């Protein structure tokens, strides 16, 4: 660890007794060879005023609250937050960093923060960054431009508040408005613009494929697989034989089907549902692709999969965790092909009490591949709907009906135990024949999707419960309960919208609120507000509940083609199936869980970023188009509105409301006109039109339909960095 961090950590430790420099060095175990570096770090801390030297040269921290280490993130408004690695800041709360107090930190950096206020009541802890310990990245993507004979790059998004000086870009041949990759030489701070060099020219943003490259480079996403991983994948393909059932249970004569999106490229789950003729019990069998068979621990395939940790699903582009010979071939449960699987067979009584559960290394041959739309047509026909367009064999049709019925009962039972369902539909882009975005809609979550969802949840729980009984550490999918104050704040928010709650922590009240608002205009505001009140789900071997699912034991087991934690669980289960005993190291699991959680967040953020960029590119060609929308957020500078049938949210700035002077009423989350008393409040429906698109900052401005004024054609004015020595 950095010597500065070591010194500050010791001085801020509870129970620290002031020591002289040599005494402190001895206590920290610093030998003669490292002592000069220790003295240099201490001198720096004294010069910065972060450490004080009192009587008899004894050292003590200069601040009264101590220091913490965590990850910094910057918000659009300029201020930031640091999430501590531990509970040092008081109950693990985020630490507020006022703009100008971040030094040269950028989003994702590991930083040391001097606390200036501890968390109390409704107030967050506050502090200032005193040192950047580890950079998240040194490369960024932005737009090249020239001004007054100098070359700059305006980094995408809101990572930095002003552009970066890049010196002479001639060697790379960058042209104004080109998207470029810039490597930072000196990070910007409140007093300095920062400097960088252009490492790569991607081309104009409107050139096909550049938007994808922009996101790939900005997030450091993996691209080509290394040769050893590809060689091992090909060797596994050469070795695989469809008639080799050694050590596996034969399910190839069972009726098994897959249900996936119509454009799915890999199929990692297959299902079968029967009713035992003697007991009348449900028998649910879930087969999951046995990727572990083709990726031995420690081999090149495993090493690369662990590094990636997840497949990344970008619009029209998948960056897989495994090479396609594995993900789309050997491990993909294709119709009519013999494939290796990990199998969970679950028995449920008529009242849905879980009975006998078995685990196998198996072999299947999927009878039929369905996509969701086909299954939904069939499900609709069960209730007197039109005859489905897909011809289905009678035994398959009968099983689909059993699947529909069992899934409905499982779903009902899950909600009865308090499971929450937030309706946050994903954006689905639509393309023309040339591959350009020509529209978008919200993803559907109908009964066909829910059938597979319930079966996968059941399998995940069954595996987690089994490994828990064995007492072996494994990667759980944990979702800790939210803090009481967060739920109370949410309840107050809901009350303002006309939905009073008696008990903020009662999950059944939360469930009822989500259900009754699912089809109402204020759905987006309510469901998103609750989402922000909840903690983030992560991977960890530490036993904890999955709050949203109301599940005490839960893991990810059903997608090993695209998630490394599932692969780790498969390997544990494999050892138990073969040897009836299994062990694991909890510390290794903890480190691996942290890594997989970080890679998952990176993948999700990259996907959202590219979808948003493509949507904004599309909307930039449709200025003035009108949309029905719902107000999802209100502030003193305006309000945000989410289009009802189009996945885009924009800001209606208060300056565009030209019919009156509006003031912000925080208590009612509304803007109210001074003369006409017209109000804009959360959940209200409004008619808006696309006013302005800022591709650089990834921002969209709406304006009320029919309001006077035209969208500004000027680029956003760039903040000018303060001169050295001047602080405001």
pLDDT at 91 over 90: no
How far apart are the C-alpha atoms of 623 and 9, rounded to whole Å? 54
* Predicted local distance difference test score (pLDDT) of residue 64: 55
How far apart are the C-alpha atoms of 521 and 629, rounded to whole Å? 9
pLDDT at 560 over 90: yes
* Predicted local distance difference test score (pLDDT) of residue 120: 67
Q: Are strands 354-365 and 249-250 parallel, antiparallel or unpaired?
A: parallel
Going by C-alpha positions, the residue among 631, 705, 704 that lies closest to residue 669 is 631
**330-375 tens-digit pLDDT:** 999 999 999 999 999 999 998 888 899 999 999 999 999 999 999 9
Going by C-alpha positions, the residue among 652, 647, 645 that lies closest to residue 631 is 652
**CA torsion, points 129, 131, 137, 143, in degrees to nearest 10?**
60
How far apart are the C-alpha atoms of 599 and 555, rounded to whole Å? 17
Find all residues with CB under 8 Å of 210, minimum gap 6, and list them: 179, 202, 203, 204
pLDDT at 61 over 80: no
* Predicted local distance difference test score (pLDDT) of residue 49: 66
| CB contact at 8 A, 323 and 302 | no
What b/e sequence results for 186-204 when a residue is b if at least 16 CB atoms lie within 10 Å of its CB, and e otherwise?
A: ebbbbebbbebbbeebbbe
Going by C-alpha positions, the residue among 103, 88, 7, 97 that lies closest to residue 52 is 7
**Crossing angle between the packed helical segments 564-579 and 300-308, to the nearest 10 degrees:** 130
What percent of the chain is modeled with pLDDT above 70? 94
How far apart are the C-alpha atoms of 128 and 109, rounded to whole Å? 14
How far apart are the C-alpha atoms of 96 and 529, rounded to whole Å? 20
Instruction: Please give the mean pLDDT across all residues of the chain.
Output: 89
Cβ neighbours, 10 Å, residue 209? 11
How far apart are the C-alpha atoms of 375 and 681, rounded to whole Å? 41
pLDDT-derived band at 86, boundaries 50, 70, 90: low
SS3 call for 7: helix
pLDDT-derived band at 588, boundaries 50, 70, 90: very high
Q: Return the top range by mean pLDDT from 280-289, 511-520, 682-691, 710-719.
A: 280-289
Calculate mean pLDDT across residues 162-188: 88
**187-211 tens-digit pLDDT:** 998 888 889 999 999 999 888 899 9
pLDDT-derived band at 1, boundaries 50, 70, 90: low
How far apart are the C-alpha atoms of 325 and 266, rounded to whole Å? 11
Element (H, E) at 274: strand 269-275
| CB contact at 8 A, 570 and 525 | no
The full DSSP string for 458-515 is HHHHHHHHHHHHHT----EEEBPPPPHHHHHHHHHHHHHTT---S-TT-HHHHHHHHH
Calculate mean pLDDT across residues 498-518: 92
SS3 call for 447: helix
Report how far Cα 226 is from the mean position of its chain's Cα atoms.
26
Longest dimension (CA), the chain: 91
How far apart are the C-alpha atoms of 645 and 240, rounded to whole Å? 48
More confident residue, 432 or 233: 233
**443-458 tens-digit pLDDT:** 888 999 999 999 999 9
**Strand order through the sheet with 679-681:** 662-665, 670-673, 679-681
Cβ neighbours, 10 Å, residue 54? 9
Phi, psi of 635, deg, nearest 5: -145, 175
Residue 168, classified by CB atoms within 10 Å of its CB into exposed (0-12), middle (13-18) or buried (19+), is: exposed
**695-728 tens-digit pLDDT:** 988 899 999 997 644 443 333 333 333 333 333 3
SS3 call for 69: strand
Q: Helices (H) and strands (E) in the chain — how many of each?
A: 15, 33
Calculate mean pLDDT across residues 573-578: 96
Angle, vertex CA 194, rays to CA 189 and CA 196, nearest 5: 145
* Predicted local distance difference test score (pLDDT) of residue 87: 43
Lowest mean pLDDT among 85-99, 465-479, 652-666: 85-99
**100-129 tens-digit pLDDT:** 899 899 988 999 888 888 776 557 788 999
| CB contact at 8 A, 251 and 523 | no
Phi, psi of 606, deg, nearest 5: -65, -40
**391-412 tens-digit pLDDT:** 899 999 999 999 999 999 999 9
Calculate mean pLDDT across residues 633-639: 91
The full DSSP string for 591-620 is HHHHHHHHHHHHHHHHHHHHHHHHHHHHHT
When computed from its CA atoms, the radius of gyration of the chain, rounded to whole angstroms, is: 28
Residue with the two structure tokens 């599309």: 618
More confident residue, 89 or 131: 131
How far apart are the C-alpha atoms of 443 and 426, rounded to whole Å? 5
More confident residue, 322 or 27: 322
Report how far Cα 482 is from the mean position of its chain's Cα atoms.
18
Residue with the two structure tokens 């509970």: 87
Element (H, E) at 110: strand 110-117
Cβ neighbours, 10 Å, residue 274? 16
How far apart are the C-alpha atoms of 274 and 224, rounded to whole Å? 43
How far apart are the C-alpha atoms of 38 and 44, rounded to whole Å? 10
Q: How many residues does the chain have?
A: 728
Calculate mean pLDDT across residues 513-532: 88
Identify the structural domains of the chain with CATH numbers, from first to last.
3-61 (1.10.10), 67-134 (2.40.50.140), 139-218 (2.40.50), 227-478+539-609 (no CATH), 484-534 (no CATH), 621-704 (2.40.50.140)
């Amino acid at each position: 660890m950095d010597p500065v961090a070591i010194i500050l950590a010791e001085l801020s430790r509870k129970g620290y007794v002031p020591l002289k420099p040599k005494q402190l060095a001895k206590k920290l175990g610093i030998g003669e060879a490292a002592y000069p570096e220790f003295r240099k770090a201490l001198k720096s801390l004294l010069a910065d005023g972060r450490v004080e030297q009192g009587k008899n040269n004894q050292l003590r921290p200069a601040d009264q609250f101590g220091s913490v280490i965590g990850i910094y993130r910057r918000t659009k408004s300029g201020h930031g937050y640091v999430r501590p690695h531990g509970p040092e800041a008081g109950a693990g709360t985020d630490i507020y960093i006022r703009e100008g107090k971040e030094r040269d930190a950028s989003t994702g950096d590991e930083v040391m923060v001097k606390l200036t206020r501890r968390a109390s009541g409704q107030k967050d802890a506050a502090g200032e960054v005193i040192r950047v310990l580890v950079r998240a990245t040194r490369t960024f993507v932005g737009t090249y431009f020239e001004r007054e004979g100098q070359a700059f790059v305006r980094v995408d998004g809101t990572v930095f508040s002003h552009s970066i000086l890049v010196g002479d870009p001639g060697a790379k041949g960058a042209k104004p408005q080109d998207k470029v990759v810039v490597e930072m030489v000196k990070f910007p701070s409140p007093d300095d613009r920062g400097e960088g060099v252009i490492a790569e020219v991607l081309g104009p943003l409107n050139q096909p494929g550049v938007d994808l490259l922009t996101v790939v480079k900005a997030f450091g996403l993996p691209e080509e697989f290394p040769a050893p991983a590809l060689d091992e994948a090909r060797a596994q393909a050469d070795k695989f034989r469809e008639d080799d059932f050694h050590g596996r249970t034969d399910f190839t004569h069972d009726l098994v089907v897959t249900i996936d999106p119509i454009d799915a490229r890999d199929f990692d789950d297959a299902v079968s549902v029967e009713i035992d003729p003697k007991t009348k019990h449900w028998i649910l069998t879930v087969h999951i692709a046995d990727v572990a068979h083709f990726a031995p621990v420690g081999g090149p395939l495993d090493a690369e999969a662990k590094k990636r940790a997840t497949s990344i699903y970008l619009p029209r582009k998948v960056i897989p965790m495994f090479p396609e010979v594995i993900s789309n071939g050997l491990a993909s449960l294709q119709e009519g092909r013999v494939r290796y699987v990990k199998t969970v067979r679950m028995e449920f009584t008529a009242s849905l009490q879980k009975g006998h559960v078995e685990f196998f290394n198996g072999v299947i041959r999927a009878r039929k591949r369905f996509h969701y739309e086909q299954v939904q047509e069939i499900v609709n026909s069960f209730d007197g709907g039109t005859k489905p367009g897909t011809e289905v064999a009678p035994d398959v049709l009968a099983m689909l009906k059993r699947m529909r019925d069992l899934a409905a009962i499982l779903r009902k039972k899950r909600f009865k135990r308090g499971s929450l369902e937030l309706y946050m539909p994903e954006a689905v882009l639509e393309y023309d024949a040339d591959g350009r975005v020509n529209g978008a809609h919200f993803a559907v979550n109908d009964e066909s999707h829910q059938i597979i969802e319930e079966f996968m949840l059941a399998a995940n729980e069954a595996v987690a419960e089994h490994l828990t009984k064995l007492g072996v550490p494994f990667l759980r999918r944990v979702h800790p309960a939210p803090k009481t104050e967060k739920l109370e704040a949410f309840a107050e928010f809901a009350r303002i919208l006309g939905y009073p709650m008696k008990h903020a922590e009662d999950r059944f009240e939360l469930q009822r609120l989500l259900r009754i608002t699912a089809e109402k205009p204020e759905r987006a505001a309510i469901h998103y507000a609750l989402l922000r009140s909840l903690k983030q789900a992560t991977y960890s071997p530490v036993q904890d509940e999955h709050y949203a699912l109301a599940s005490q034991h839960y893991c990810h087991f059903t997608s090993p083609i695209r998630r490394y934690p599932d692969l780790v669980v498969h390997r544990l289960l494999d050892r138990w199936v073969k040897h009836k005993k299994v062990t694991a190291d909890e510390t290794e699991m903890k480190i691996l869980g942290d890594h997989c959680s970080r890679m998952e967040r990176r993948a999700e953020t990259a996907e959202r970023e590219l979808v948003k960029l493509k949507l904004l590119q599309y909307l930039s060609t449709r200025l003035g188009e009108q949309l029905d929308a719902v107000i999802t957020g209100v502030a003193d500078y305006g309000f945000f509105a989410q289009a009802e049938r189009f996945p885009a949210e924009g800001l209606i700035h208060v300056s565009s409301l030209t019919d009156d002077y509006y003031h912000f009423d925080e208590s009612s989350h509304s803007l109210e006109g001074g003369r006409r008393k017209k109000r804009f409040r959360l959940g209200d429906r409004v008619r808006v039109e696309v006013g302005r698109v800022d591709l650089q900052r990834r921002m969209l401005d709406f304006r009320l339909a029919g309001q006077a004024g035209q969208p500004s054609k000027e680029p956003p004015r760039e903040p000018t960095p303060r001169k050295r020595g001047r602080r405001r």
